[in-house]
């Protein structure tokens, strides 16, 4: 085994020098949801963002050749990890980006660590990726469950929403989001009155809504995403949840979800993203280029994160002049300060957490929306240092060792 290992190492070293002789070849795989309920929030939009990052990096100027490939993991952890294995073993992929659906991201993270490649997470939310499950090969770029809880959850408790009932998607992501939010609620003097876990992709929420209604909690926390959140809010209006004085907290909500629900039903919802296409000239210009590929749609933070993470990874590879060693590439990414037009200046912590500000938005009323995609107004900015879980609280083995 040891002999095999050193042989492989020697071969890798040889290949590395061979590649350096001409262009440095880098292959990036966008592993995302192209067909399920998270497609609009990631999917083709993420692929388009990765391509823009390569364009802006300009590989030729750095003596590099970058190739982007993509695959659909269908939100299945087993499928995600087998695609990752095939990419590394057969297709010689150096880095995987996006990977929405927390359960898939956790599975792929293990494969990436084993093969010493790079994982740039944008679409997945679970904060354990930079906590107990952190890896020297993984960077978690865009957001996480702790940050959503800390921003949306805290602001709601502070404005009087002090009793909560959770509707939780019954898998890794939902439970992590409910757990992190419950911690924030109790830390700020609120109480959690109950929780009900529903299967992923539930059509009918009426039964759960009735349970939430009878709990008399002021806030119904939706620890789910995509179609599940939309269905819950749509049916909540029907059952008179808002009319009865209860409010929804959509803990993870995107531009496409607002459009699916319509402003009439979504107005007033408070949500957190780390990117909004209409923030400043830089984001607007980028969104316009992105729309050449995705007509009529608007990018969200996941897709922006794919852009930011890919761009920064390529800078690190250029500095190292090799993409062969994944651990070294991630170490280089942590060493270099980050800077891009979408997230501004920032850095990556030792646990793999990318640090940047988070924004608390409120969904506009129909009469406030002046042009297509004009959906959010900014309520608060959470500064970069406060937006994410403090390093010491994460229980990441990379930090303690």
Partner 1 sequence: MIQIFGIPSQALFGQLLLGLINGSFYALLSLGLAVIFGMLNIINFTHGAQYMMGAFCAFLLLKYLGINYWAALVIVPIVIGILGILIERLFLRHVRKLDHLYGLILTFGLALIIEGLFRNYYGSSGQPYSPPPELTGGHNLGFMFLPNYRAWVIGFSLAVCLATWFAIERTRLGSYLRAATENPALVRAFGINVPRMVTLTYGFGVGLAALAGVMAAPIYNVSPQMGSDLIIVVFAVVVIGGMGSIMGAIVTGFMLGIVEGLTKVFFPEASNTVIFAIMIVVLLARPAGLFGRAA
- 28 φψ region: left (φ > 0), alpha (ψ -120 to 50), beta (else): beta
338 within 8 A of 312, measured Cβ to Cβ: yes
Q: Is 272 helix (H, G, I), strand (E, B) or coil?
A: strand
Residues numbered 39-68 forming contacts with partner 1, rule: CB under 8 A: 39-41, 43
User: Considering only residues 6, 35, 186, 280, which one is a binding residue for partner 1 as defined by CB under 8 A?
Assistant: 35
Which stretch in 83-91, 133-141, 176-184, 254-262 sits in contact with partner 1 by CB under 8 A? 254-262
Residue pair 229/222 in contact (Cβ under 8 Å)? The answer is yes
Which of 116, 188, 259, 291 is the binder for partner 1 (CB under 8 A)? Answer: 259
Among 264, 370, 371, 372, binds partner 1 (CB under 8 A): 264
Would you count residue 174 as binding partner 1 (CB under 8 A)? no
Q: Which residue has the tokens 């002046």?
A: 370
Strands 118-121 and 95-98 turn out to be parallel
Give the residue carrying structure tokens 């403090």: 390
184 belongs to the binding site for partner 1 (CB under 8 A): no
- In the region spanning residues 351 to 370, those forming contacts with partner 1, defined by CB under 8 A, are none
CA distance 303 to 245: 35
**How far apart are alpha carbons 66 and 60 in whole angstroms?**
9
Stretch of 55-63, 92-100, 139-147, 257-265 contacting partner 1, by CB under 8 A: 257-265
Closest CA to 32 of 66, 78, 80: 80
Query: Least distance (Å) from partner 1 to the CB of residue 71?
Result: 16
Site stretch for partner 1 (CB under 8 A), options 13-21, 37-45, 70-78, 276-284: 37-45
Shortest distance in whole angstroms from residue 263 CB to partner 1? 9
Please check whether residue 105 is in contact with residue 155, taking contact to mean a CB–CB distance below 8 angstroms: no
Asked if 17 is part of the footprint of partner 1 (rule: CB under 8 A), the reply reads no
Which stretch, 7-15, 177-185, 239-247, 269-277, contacts partner 1 (CB under 8 A)? 239-247
From CA 48, how far away is CA 99, in angstroms rounded? Answer: 15
Nearest CA among 48, 40, 37 for reference residue 70: 48
Stretch that binds partner 1, among 20-28, 70-78, 224-232, 343-351 (CB under 8 A): 224-232
Nearer to partner 1 among residue 32 and residue 150 (C-beta): 32
Which is nearer to partner 1, 175 or 353 (by Cβ)?
A: 175
| 36 binding partner 1? (CB under 8 A) | yes
Q: Which stretch binds partner 1 (CB under 8 A): 87-95, 109-117, 234-242, 375-383?
A: 234-242
DSSP states along 106-125: HHHHHHHHHHT-EEEE-S--
Looking at 116, 202, 242, 291, which residue binds partner 1 (CB under 8 A)? Answer: 202
CA distance 116 to 233: 42
Radius of gyration of the chain (CA): 21
Name the residue nearer to partner 1 (CB basis): 163 or 259.
259
257 binds partner 1 (CB under 8 A): yes
CA–CA separation, 342 vs 359, rounded Å? Answer: 13
Nearest to 249 by CA among 235, 233, 265: 233
Q: How far is the CB of 261 from partner 1 (least distance, A)?
A: 6
Q: Which of 27, 234, 289, 379 binds partner 1 (CB under 8 A)?
A: 234
Residues 383 and 368: their CA atoms lie apart, in Å, by: 27
Residue 157: which of 183, 177, 176 has the closest Cα? 183
262 binds partner 1 (CB under 8 A): yes
293-312: contacts with partner 1 (CB under 8 A): 297
If the CB atoms of residues 79 and 350 are measured against partner 1, the closer one turns out to be 79
Contact positions vs partner 1 (CB under 8 A): 35-41, 43, 170, 196-199, 201-204, 206-208, 210-211, 213-214, 226-227, 230-231, 234-235, 238-240, 244, 256-257, 259-262, 264-265, 297
């Amino acid at each position: 085994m040891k002999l095999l290992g050193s042989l492989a190492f020697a071969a890798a070293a040889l290949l590395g020098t061979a590649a350096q002789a001409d262009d440095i070849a880098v292959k990036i795989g966008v592993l995302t949801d192209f067909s399920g309920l998270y497609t609009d929030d990631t999917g083709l939009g993420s692929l388009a963002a990765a391509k823009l990052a390569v364009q802006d990096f300009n590989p030729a100027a750095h003596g590099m050749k970058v190739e982007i490939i993509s695959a659909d993991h269908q939100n299945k952890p087993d499928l995600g990890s087998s695609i990752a294995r095939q990419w590394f073993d057969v297709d010689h992929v150096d880095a995987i980006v996006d990977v929405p659906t927390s359960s898939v991201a956790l599975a792929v993270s293990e494969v990436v660590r084993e093969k010493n490649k790079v994982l740039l997470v944008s679409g997945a939310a679970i904060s354990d990726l930079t906590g107990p499950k952190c890896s020297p090969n993984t960077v978690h770029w865009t957001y996480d469950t702790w940050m959503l809880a800390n921003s949306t959850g805290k602001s709601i408790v502070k404005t009087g929403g002090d009793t909560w009932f959770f509707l939780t998607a019954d898998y890794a992501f939902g439970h992590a989001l409910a757990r992190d939010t419950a911690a924030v609620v109790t830390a700020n003097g609120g109480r959690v009155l109950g929780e009900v876990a529903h299967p992923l992709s539930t059509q009918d929420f009426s039964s759960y809504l009735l349970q939430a209604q009878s709990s008399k909690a002021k806030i119904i926390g939706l620890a789910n995403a995509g179609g599940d959140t939309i269905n819950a809010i749509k049916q909540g209006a029907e059952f008179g949840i808002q009319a009865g004085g209860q409010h929804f907290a959509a803990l993870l909500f995107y531009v496409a979800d607002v459009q699916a629900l319509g402003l009439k039903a979504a107005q007033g919802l408070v949500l957190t993203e780390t990117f909004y296409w209409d923030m400043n000239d830089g984001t607007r210009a980028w969104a316009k280029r992105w729309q050449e590929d995705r007509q009529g749609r608007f990018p969200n933070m996941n897709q922006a994160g794919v852009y930011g993470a890919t761009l920064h990874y390529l800078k690190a590879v250029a500095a190292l002049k090799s993409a062969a060693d994944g651990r070294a590439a991630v170490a280089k990414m942590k060493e270099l300060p980050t800077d891009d037009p979408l997230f501004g200046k920032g850095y990556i912590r030792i646990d793999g957490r990318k640090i940047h500000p988070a924004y608390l938005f409120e969904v506009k009323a129909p009469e406030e929306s002046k042009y297509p995609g004009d959906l959010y107004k900014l309520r608060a900015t959470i500064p970069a240092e406060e937006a994410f879980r403090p390093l010491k609280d994460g229980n990441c083995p990379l930090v303690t060792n």
